[in-house]
Structure 1
Amino acid sequence: MRRRLLGLALLAGLGWSATSESAEIPADCQAQAPWGAPQWSGTEPHLTPLGRRAYVALHDDVKLVPDFVSWSLTAEHALGCLPRKDSFAPDPDLLPGHRAELADYKGHSGIYDRGYFAPNSDFEWDARVLRESFYLSNMSPQASHLNQWEWEMLEEATRSWALTRGPLVVMDGPIWKDPVETIGADEVGIPAAYWKVIVDGSGQVAAFIMQNQPTAKGDLTPHAVSVAQVEQAAGVALPLPANTDRGSVSAVWPVDLYALQKRKHVTCHIR
């Protein structure tokens, strides 16, 4: 950790930016984060804003995973038809030594996956944005049987809500606890938990927290929390509409995965 912080200081002296002040959303990504960037309640981590065509990430340059990711999700985008083509890659906009590498995840199969923050299935409507979702700057070491089970359920539910309640703004990020465990030679941080907050087309908000541990796929209700609980756990003030009720726990919105699958099959001509 000390080694990486010293490296950041050296790179800053060479003109490379990793701000410890308030992070900003790149101007061309305002549609992906319409209410701006979060504000950290303590010392803000060293962050690099990464503006993509379809999502924006604030990359933690010490833990080497994003601390905040935000994107818009429409019904059209939820029904994208491009096939998945795994193309995991280190982020070309981050310097070696200050980004996760493919080698960092090797040897952890079945324990930790390269878990998405902005999931690739939300971006199957365009080849470029789909490819950008595979950057390791959009991932963290996520318990395999969270990534493939309950976190996947939440991602599928979100696409279902894009059909019935959209367009949505989706944001998520990690929750950290000291000491931070790591994997790989680059010491990629392993989050203790994850949060996700979804704002629907009418401005209503749903919030969830899931621990980074194997969790059976099923009912999302046990993971529903208030925005205030997310903010307290993550140590941030989230960017949300001015009238957002941050103190109440919303009932989980109805999920119809069958309707989502049926619409997808019709749209993509799947037999």
Structure 2
Amino acid sequence: MMKQVYLAGLVVLAWLSMFGEPWAAEIPDACQTQAPWGAPQWTGTEPPVTALCHRAYVALHDDVKLVPDFVSWSLTAEHALGCLPRKDSFAPDPDLPPGHRAELADYKGHAGVYDRGHMAPNSDFEWDAQVQRESFYLSNMSPQASHLNQWEWERLEEVTRAWALTRGPLVVMDGPIWGATVETIGTDQVGVPAAYWKVIVDGSGQVALFIMQNEATAKGDLTPYAVSVAQVETAAGFTLPLPAGVDRTAVSVVWPADMEAFQERKRATCQIR
């Protein structure tokens, strides 16, 4: 019955797209904390998406490309200092039916080229075993260049956690940018993004935004990747849900981050010697 309902939904979405009728994704009530300003609003035809509300993040899953087009979560200082060890428990999302989701087999044979790249990172969820496990659902992944995922994208994730201590609580959003043609991997044809965007909203409503190409990118200064709201919106194809009054044209400033102080606090909290 679940599969039939899901397929019927896709048919309705296809019919609406055919006739140009607007259809806007919505954030489930249970996940409003994770996306307090709602869902993005596509400027063209919205792709068929499924809203997936997990305990600590919400994702709008692209039901064609089989990766999330939008992920949002809240990040507090307490959560940034979680102490659970990483447990790689990658799994297909149980809230999506087989045939309409990425599977583990889709990523096999791509080691060293594409990682199962987290959109909402595991290290933001080391405060609870269930939410950490849910971060490994493939609906929270996309094929990310290995030396982006492990280098500069990781750097951005690390700095964001440091900001959670000094500028939080934060709301973090990210997702893919699609090229004119889309490469796919696996039997299920999982889409490979051309680039990724990330937006961080701090406790005062200020924003920092970044775009990184889906290619090997050395770990270092984030300044070359800082962009404006308008640049992210143009590249992603939708209007971002943001607090009122945000300047959408100014290139964002990369806020200071004391990584050494953050690591010391982490070691003390987790009693790491």
**TM-score under structure 2 length normalisation:** 0.94
Matched to 1:89, the amino acid is A
SS of equivalent to 1:225: coil
User: Which of the residues 206, 214, 217 maps onto 2:216?
Assistant: 214
Measure how far apart 1:120 and its partner are: 0.3
Pick closer, same or farther for the CA change 1:74–1:269 going to 2, 3 Å.
same
Matched ranges for 1:187-226 at <5 A: 187-226=189-228
Deviations 1:195-217 (A, max 9, x none): 00000001100000000000000
Q: Look up the match of 1:171.
A: 173
Aligned counterparts of 2:41 and 2:190: Cα–Cα separation in 1: 23
Report which stretch shifted further, 15-24 or 196-205: 15-24
Question: C-alpha root-mean-square deviation of aligned residues, in Å?
Answer: 1.9
Q: Look up the match of 1:125.
A: 127
Aligned counterparts of 1:250 and 1:146: Cα–Cα separation in 2: 21
Measure how far apart 1:13 and its partner are: 6.6
Measure how far apart 1:11 and its partner are: 1.3
Deviations 1:38-94 (A, max 9, x none): 000110000000001100000000000000000000000000000101100000010
Are 2:13 and 2:48, in contact at CA under 8 Å, matched by a contact in 1?
A: no
Identity %: 79
Q: Look up the match of 2:35.
A: 33
Q: Look up the match of 2:20.
A: none
Q: Look up the match of 1:76.
A: 78
Pick closer, same or farther for the CA change 1:259–1:72 going to 2, 3 Å.
same
SS of equivalent to 2:66: coil
User: Which of the residues 8, 11, 15 maps onto 2:7?
Assistant: 11
Deviations 1:99-153 (A, max 9, x none): 0000000000000000010000000000100000000000000000000000000
Are 1:69 and 1:117, in contact at CA under 8 Å, matched by a contact in 2?
A: yes
Matched to 1:137, the amino acid is S
Are 2:10 and 2:48, in contact at CA under 8 Å, matched by a contact in 1?
A: no
Q: Look up the match of 2:161.
A: 159
Matched ranges for 1:43-192 at <5 A: 43-192=45-194
Pick closer, same or farther for the CA change 1:142–1:13 going to 2, 3 Å.
closer
Pick closer, same or farther for the CA change 1:13–1:257 going to 2, 3 Å.
closer
Q: Look up the match of 1:243.
A: 245
The runs of 4+ residues in structure 1 deviating greater than 6 Å are: 7-10, 13-20
Q: Look up the match of 1:4.
A: none
Measure how far apart 1:256 and its partner are: 1.4
Measure how far apart 1:193 and its partner are: 0.2
Measure how far apart 1:257 and its partner are: 1.2
Q: Look up the match of 1:267.
A: 269
Aligned counterparts of 1:210 and 1:242: Cα–Cα separation in 2: 26
Matched to 1:118, the amino acid is A
Aligned counterparts of 1:206 and 1:44: Cα–Cα separation in 2: 25
SS of equivalent to 1:76: helix
Are 2:65 and 2:191, in contact at CA under 8 Å, matched by a contact in 1?
A: yes
Aligned residue pairs: how many?
Answer: 265
Matched to 2:174, the amino acid is D
Deviations 1:137-176 (A, max 9, x none): 0000000000000000000000000001000000001000
Measure how far apart 1:250 and its partner are: 1.9
Matched to 1:88, the amino acid is F
Are 1:17 and 1:48, in contact at CA under 8 Å, matched by a contact in 2?
A: no
SS of equivalent to 1:174: strand
Are 1:123 and 1:133, in contact at CA under 8 Å, matched by a contact in 2?
A: yes
